[in-house]
């Protein structure tokens, strides 16, 4: 009998095992009741030993213990308090006052909810409870999550991810990139929604840097709500923009040829596309690959492949070296010199007269002030945010979407923060601050 107390982690001084039944499929049912003869009244806190009646036994799903499925059959009594005349049900440590899921199972569910690879359905099946029970536990967690972030860190980042909520196609995410923390998720990225949200932040004027992409509404929100902050365009976004300009040249040329032509195949090849976009300093130029050429299998180097591609169009060759020059600026120049170098690069784009890079140069010119801010500190980037967004995609995919945005928001905050910050207390804001 002592082994069963150890198996289910119960205190033999407080709980009595009445009966043990072995069921099929390795299931054990353990019938238990409280050993205590006196209990405290939840109203007046006085002890009473007067049993009013006995409740119908509660079946509680327990954890798998040592490969054995355990169900607890819990017998509870209701007591009568003569001091305040209250009738109440006794409490056991293994169960909460509501529901029939043991605390041990709930703890396990909470641990598994932290794993972004696990769906609610999988967690429910593993713990032999309903999806609704898992959702309810998630809602219990959400109840402790503040509705708004009150105190913002010195550096924050903005981004969005596809959520397809009732409020909008994209959800908005606010992060602390320095301390690697998700601050909050909003149901949409509309300018009005963001401004209203940030009115709840007590220390808006203390924010020094806002990191984001080249999305105009984010810049406007920053200037309005964080007047002392510098707006930083994330490196990943403006580098990707230049990569896309080169890719647009390739696509334009590709569409000039038939699908069976060697030019089309050369431009369409995924490895070739990757080679064009990759920074030359990150390429191993001595790696030999096998390629068909003129009906024969031959050894080729990355430089041979690029030479064949450049023969198709001089625009593609010029665009490639403009891309390389821009990456050289990003990787090799400091804050003091980068302004001059980017200005020269913009002039060169106009000089080369390639439509895709003339457009790219115009965008870089308009956002240059905020691009230069990304050279102040290498930590000021959306790298952490991009990693978070990739994991959010996994959460969505495993769940086949979330019906409730609040459930979705809560799961994300719970996964990436683990616990709720004590500094952001849940306050009821009935009025918008001015």
Residue pLDDT, tens place only, 317-356: 999 999 999 999 999 888 788 999 999 999 999 999 999 9
Residue 109 lies in a domain: no
* pTM, rounded to two decimals: 0.72
**Residue 313's Cα: distance from chain center in Å?**
42
Q: What is the mean pLDDT of residues 48-60?
A: 86
Query: Max alpha carbon distance in the chain (Å)?
Result: 100
Q: What is the pLDDT of residues 186-197, one digit of tens each?
A: 998 999 999 999
Looking at the structure of the chain, the number of domains it has is 3
CA within 13 Å, CB half, 45? 0
Mean pLDDT of the chain: 85
Residue 295 lies in a domain: yes
CB atoms within 10 A of CB 283: 13
- Please state whether beta strands 51-54 and 47-48 pair in parallel, antiparallel, or not at all (unpaired): unpaired
User: Whole-angstrom Cα distance, residue 63 to residue 81?
Assistant: 34
Q: What is the mean pLDDT of residues 87-106?
A: 69
pLDDT at position 383, please?
84
Checking if the pLDDT of 254 tops 70, the result is yes
Checking if the pLDDT of 66 tops 50, the result is no
Residues 241 and 339 occupy one common structural domain: yes
Residues 241 and 356 occupy one common structural domain: yes
Residues 83 and 204 occupy one common structural domain: no
Residue 134 lies in a domain: no
pLDDT confidence tier of residue 242, bands split at 50, 70 and 90: very high
CA angle 175, 360, 269 (to 5 degrees): 90
CATH of the domain at 171: 3.30.420.10
- How distant, in Å, are the alpha carbons of 19, 344, 364 from that of 93? 19, 72, 62
Residue 405 near residue 413, CB atoms below 8 Å: no
Residue 131 lies in a domain: no
Determine the structural domain holding residue 80 and report its residue range.
1-98
Burial 11-29 (b: 16+ CB within 10 A, else e): eeeebebeeeeeeeeeebb
Q: What is the pLDDT of residues 68-84, one digit of tens each?
A: 577 778 888 999 999 99
Residues 161 and 219 occupy one common structural domain: yes
Checking if the pLDDT of 420 tops 50, the result is no
CA angle 358, 362, 366 (to 5 degrees): 170
User: Whole-angstrom Cα distance, residue 36 to residue 204?
Assistant: 55
Q: Which one-letter DSSP state was computed for residue 257?
A: S
CB atoms within 10 A of CB 311: 12
pLDDT at position 3, please?
56
Residues 408 and 320 occupy one common structural domain: no
Residues 213 and 337 occupy one common structural domain: no
Q: What is the mean pLDDT of residues 145-159?
A: 90
């Amino acid at each position: 009998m002592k082994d069963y107390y150890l198996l289910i982690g119960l205190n033999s001084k407080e709980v009595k095992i009445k009966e043990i039944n072995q069921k099929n499929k390795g299931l054990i049912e353990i019938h238990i009741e409280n050993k205590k003869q006196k209990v405290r009244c939840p109203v007046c806190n006085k002890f009473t030993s007067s049993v009013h009646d006995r409740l119908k036994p509660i079946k509680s799903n327990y954890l798998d213990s040592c490969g054995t499925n355990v169900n607890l059959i819990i017998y509870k009594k209701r007591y009568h308090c003569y001091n305040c005349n209250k009738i109440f049900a006794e409490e056991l440590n293994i169960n909460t006052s509501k529901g029939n899921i043991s605390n041990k199972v709930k703890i396990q569910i909470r641990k598994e909810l932290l794993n972004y690879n696990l769906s609610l359905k999988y967690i429910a099946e593993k713990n032999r409870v309903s999806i609704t029970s898992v959702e309810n536990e998630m809602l219990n967690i959400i109840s402790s999550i503040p509705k708004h972030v009150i105190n913002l860190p010195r550096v924050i980042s903005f981004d969005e991810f596809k959520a397809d909520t009732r409020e909008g196609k994209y959800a908005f995410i606010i992060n602390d990139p320095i301390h690697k923390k998700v601050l909050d998720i909003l149901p949409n990225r509309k300018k009005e929604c963001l401004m209203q949200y940030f009115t709840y932040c007590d220390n808006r004027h203390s924010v020094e840097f806002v990191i984001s992409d080249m999305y105009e509404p984010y810049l406007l929100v920053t200037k309005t709500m964080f007047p002392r902050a510098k707006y930083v365009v994330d490196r990943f976004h403006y580098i990707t923009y230049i990569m896309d300009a080169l890719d647009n040249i390739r696509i334009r040329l590709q569409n000039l040829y038939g699908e069976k032509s060697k030019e089309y195949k050369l431009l369409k090849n995924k490895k070739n596309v990757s080679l064009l976009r990759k920074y030359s300093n990150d390429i191993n130029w001595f790696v030999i690959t096998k390629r068909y050429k003129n009906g024969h299998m031959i050894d080729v180097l990355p430089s041979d492949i690029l030479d064949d591609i450049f023969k198709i169009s001089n625009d593609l060759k010029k665009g490639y070296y403009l891309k390389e020059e821009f990456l050289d600026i990003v990787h090799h120049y400091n804050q003091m010199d980068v302004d001059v170098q980017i200005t020269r690069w913009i002039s060169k784009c106009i000089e080369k007269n390639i439509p895709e890079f003339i457009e790219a140069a115009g965008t870089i010119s308009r956002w240059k002030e905020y691009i230069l801010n990304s050279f102040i500190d290498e930590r000021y980037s959306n790298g952490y945010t991009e990693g978070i967004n990739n994991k959010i995609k996994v959460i969505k995919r495993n769940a086949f979407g979330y019906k409730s945005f609040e459930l979705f928001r809560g799961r994300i905050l719970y996964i990436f923060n683990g616990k709720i910050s004590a500094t952001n207390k849940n306050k009821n804001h009935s009025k918008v601050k001015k």
